[in-house]
Structure 1
């Protein structure tokens, strides 16, 4: 008999303690992007693509199960070879906490279309070849319940190794930034994102701080009432003009709109 997603998530939470990092994030409502405390987002992974004989960071992602990483559909290119690095913080040095895993299977959402980003469904699940060792540097994020939507202004955090600003450098150390949630009624106004933002998306930020190239696929981390961190969104797109633009919040695929699909894929494969 197939497990329900709720039971599956309860088992993950019980066995692996989802959303409860050993190192507490520096959630002091700092608005500007800053270095994250090392390993305070232990579910954050670096998705790396092979160019020649070397691998390079291309996107973020979130460990949501022992062998499952959630990322964005647009991070996956046909024919490319990828790997996942867990337990990473400073990419300029070997810290001894890194764990590298090959990807056994890539499942991109069937309705994702790279030519129609605003249609949504910008999700992909990556099945790792083997489970990482769960420790203080590697852990799983919690998944929200179906249909759950953080309230307007909720203090969520984006994390990743994306460009520090438009056309700027990529940082060595994992960055985090406070991105307050912008409710759909505001984000879909004509002078904001308008019809480009769907109800299956979630907006956050929209001023001096946003996601940028290289943050794609990474999590929107929101603290739940139970004190655990939930991946409420998967970083999808920002303004094509500049990363940081007023009334153009970072747009995420809303995780809670896809719980059925996530459950189906993780149980089937």
Structure 2
């Protein structure tokens, strides 16, 4: 989740799982941590998922200030108090870790391209189109996520009822502290949570979601900040009814449909929300099937055809 300028509300764009449980990396193929490398320090920024050996999905707000510099490597920038951009460090993804402190050989990759959806409005994940693609400098040889509407045929139902599960390395409490540790390579590692978490989040109908969000914006006095809220059933998914939720540090990570009869299918990307695990405060997720054509056009991945 993000945090607004007044630090009143945390939005779900960079979160950990509230009221979740430890997750197995085997249940989350392609799960990744988007990190900034600064000297001997590593900082978890957001979640991401590998959707092919070369490409990962994440939220646009996680990388809207990233830049490709001389040599073709991606760097993360941070905004100073005066609004100017200051280079922070090299961007990379660490893939397949159940615990960020234990990163195996061949699982960490710098990035050579960061492509934000052209309709995304900077610093406005609540306006929609909160999706971005990351290209690795060299191919990942491990498992990748199945993507609804892209690498698998889109679901025909509206997700009302199916088990939706979200995962990430974000906070487990809205105001909870982060964690510090040393990685196996001896780097100082900072993350909201070192251990991958997962949690079930119930689907929320769009109209109920819109009413709940509008009510919270008014209650918290945020109408001047959230002037461009878009909640569309075509391009977004609402999920979570309090208790289990995504939170700061989970942004960009996957929301999947999982029934254990088949492999999990990613249907959403953690985007934003108001608070973490608050009653009647659903998380808002980017619906990946709505962007299948764009993803295919950028990556070259072929869209799965319906079975005859």
Which TM-score tier does this pair reach, normalised by the shorter chain? 0.7 to 0.9
Could you tell me how far 1:224 is from its partner in structure 2?
Answer: 6.5
Root-mean-square deviation (CA, aligned residues, Å) is 2.3
**Secondary structure of 1:258's partner?**
helix
Partner of 1:26: none
Match of 2:195 among 161, 173, 178: 173
Confirm or deny: 8 A CA contact 1:156 1:180 kept in the other structure.
yes
Partner of 1:197: 231
Match of 2:281 among 232, 237, 248: 248
Confirm or deny: 8 A CA contact 1:150 1:181 kept in the other structure.
no
Partner of 2:91: 82
Match of 1:145 among 144, 149, 160: 149
Partner of 1:62: 49
Unaligned runs of 5+ in 2: 1-17, 68-75, 77-89, 178-191, 216-228, 302-308
Could you tell me how far 1:157 is from its partner in structure 2?
Answer: 0.7
> Aligned pairs, how many?
230
Moved more, 35-44 or 193-202: 193-202
Partners of 2:101 and 2:261 lie apart in 1 by: 35
Structure possessing the higher radius of gyration over alpha carbons: 2
Partner of 1:236: 271
Partner of 1:12: none
Confirm or deny: 8 A CA contact 2:66 2:114 kept in the other structure.
no
Does 2:32 align with 1:45?
yes
**Secondary structure of 2:285's partner?**
strand
Q: Which has the higher contact order (CA 8 A, sep 6+)?
A: 2
Partners of 2:256 and 2:108 lie apart in 1 by: 23
Partner of 2:298: 265
Q: What are the superposed Cα offsets for residues 150-189 of structure 1, whole Å, 9 maximum, x if unpaired?
A: 422321111000011112132221000111211223222x
Could you tell me how far 1:38 is from its partner in structure 2?
Answer: 4.1
Partners of 1:225 and 1:56 lie apart in 2 by: 33
Moved more, 215-224 or 140-149: 140-149
TM-score by length of 1: 0.78
**Secondary structure of 1:62's partner?**
strand
Could you tell me how far 1:133 is from its partner in structure 2?
Answer: 2.1
Confirm or deny: 8 A CA contact 1:85 1:98 kept in the other structure.
no
Unaligned runs of 5+ in 1: 1-30
Partner of 1:5: none
Confirm or deny: 8 A CA contact 2:167 2:253 kept in the other structure.
yes
